[in-house]
């Protein structure tokens, strides 16, 4: 006998609950490349954590940031629109992972991932304080992930949580701020270490924290190397000819060399772990050498700012900003435009071994 109108059979209710649970776990969404993306890093992938840090001077939750974001809304992204975290999630068939600090009142973290990235953050604990007064350093981001993992275990059970994490992507974009902190005029850390000792300290600290993530279930890790950061507008403006800071670029490349060796070593010590390394430095160098090939015309000046190369003042409401943003490499004195973030996300997700090795992110997720 059919159930009365508006009633639900026990079997129907059970099937609905099971189906809902499968959707929540991503089982019924075959287009997803992974069940979740856990984003760790700095302002290049911050989607709003710094909005919740009262002391931080690294914020982007005001115009003209977000002018090309849906509804022209500033969100805390250091960009005219979306950043690499958004584009990567989209390629994976997932929503952008929300800022960890936005999950207030004991809210359950979404099963599709969480972002811990913070503007000004570094691999070393003191970096953010030196540069921006307050950020979430890498060690703290890992600690925050531990809290999310605990909730996953409660929600799914230990075995299912481990399976979920082993298939998820841990995307890490960090290191630039540590180098900026070292090569800033009057730097405290440059009195404590020579440059080689410093990049070695960055690498060893990073290795220990990656090992901690591995111990908590991370098996698929994407790590972006540091870019050609001596070529950002705030560095170029220090040179009368507008050229790049050669020393900063040299040590960025040296750090990347150590990072690649470290990742290979870590994989050999960590059964079941695989990684994709993105050569941000090489991708940037190629872009600077032939910008018109990729549709860009301005590689030195920031789109949004004031003064020399638009880099004397950050992108704030009184700044001017360019109308042809897709032609600019830099949005502000440090950060790329949405167009560059999109281009680099394409490379790291499905690019050739010229910039992603030993595999790209798509290949990593297929393992």
Active-site residues, by number, are 43, 332, 335
How far apart are the C-alpha atoms of 119 and 41, rounded to whole Å? 8
Does a cis peptide bond (omega within 30 degrees of 0) precede residue 83?
no
How far apart are the C-alpha atoms of 355 and 357, rounded to whole Å? 7
Distances (CA, A) of 77 to 65, 124, 139, 228, 322: 7, 22, 22, 21, 18
Q: Three-class SS of residue 304?
A: strand
Contact 11, 150 (CB under 8 A): no
Q: Which of these, 232, 241, 235, lies nearest to 330 by C-alpha position?
A: 232
How far apart are the C-alpha atoms of 340 and 192, rounded to whole Å? 36
Question: What is the DSSP-derived secondary structure letter of residue 69?
Answer: S
Could you identify the residue written with the tokens 């040179």?
239
Structure tokens at 186: 């009057």
Structure tokens at 344: 């680099």
**Three-state secondary structure readout of 191-236:** HCCCHHHHHHHHHHHHHHHHHHHHHCCCCEEEEECCCCHHHCHHHH
Q: Is the dihedral of CA 189, 192, 194, 199 positive or negative?
A: negative
């Amino acid at each position: 006998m059919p159930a009365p109108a508006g009633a639900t059979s026990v079997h129907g209710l059970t099937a609905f609950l099971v189906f809902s649970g499968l959707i929540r776990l991503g089982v019924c969404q075959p287009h997803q490349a992974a069940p979740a993306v856990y984003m760790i890093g700095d302002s290049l992938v911050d989607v709003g954590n710094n909005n919740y840090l009262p002391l931080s001077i690294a914020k982007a939750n005001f115009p003209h940031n977000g002018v090309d974001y849906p509804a022209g809304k500033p969100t805390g992204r250091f960009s005219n629109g979306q950043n690499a975290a958004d584009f990567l999630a989209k390629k994976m068939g997932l929503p952008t992972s929300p800022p960890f600090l936005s999950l207030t009142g004991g809210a359950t973290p979404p099963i599709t991932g969480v972002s811990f990235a913070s503007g000004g953050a570094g691999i070393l604990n003191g970096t953010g304080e030196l540069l921006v007064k307050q950020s979430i350093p890498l060690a703290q981001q890992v600690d925050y992930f531990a809290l999310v993992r605990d909730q996953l275990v409660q929600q799914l059970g230990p075995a299912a949580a481990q399976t979920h994490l082993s298939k998820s992507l841990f995307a890490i974009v960090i290191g630039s701020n540590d180098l900026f902190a070292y090569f800033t005029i009057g730097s405290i850390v440059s009195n404590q270490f020579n440059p080689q000792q410093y990049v070695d300290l960055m690498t060893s600290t990073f290795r220990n924290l990656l090992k901690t993530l591995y111990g908590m279930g991370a098996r698929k890790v994407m790590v972006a190397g540091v870019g050609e950061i001596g070529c950002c507008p705030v560095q170029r403006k220090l040179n009368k000819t507008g050229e790049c800071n050669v020393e900063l670029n040299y040590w960025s490349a040296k750090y990347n060399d150590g990072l690649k060796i470290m990742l290979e070593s870590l994989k050999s010590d960590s059964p079941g772990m695989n990684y994709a390394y993105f050569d941000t430095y090489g991708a940037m160098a190629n872009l600077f050498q032939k910008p018109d090939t990729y549709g860009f015309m301005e590689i030195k000046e920031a789109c949004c700012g004031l003064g020399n190369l638009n880099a004397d003042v950050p992108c704030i409401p009184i700044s001017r900003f360019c109308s042809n943003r897709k032609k600019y490499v830099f949005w502000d004195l440090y950060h790329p435009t949405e167009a560059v973030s999109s281009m680099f996300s394409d490379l790291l997700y499905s690019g050739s071994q010229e910039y992603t090795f030993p595999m790209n992110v798509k290949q990593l997720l297929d393992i």
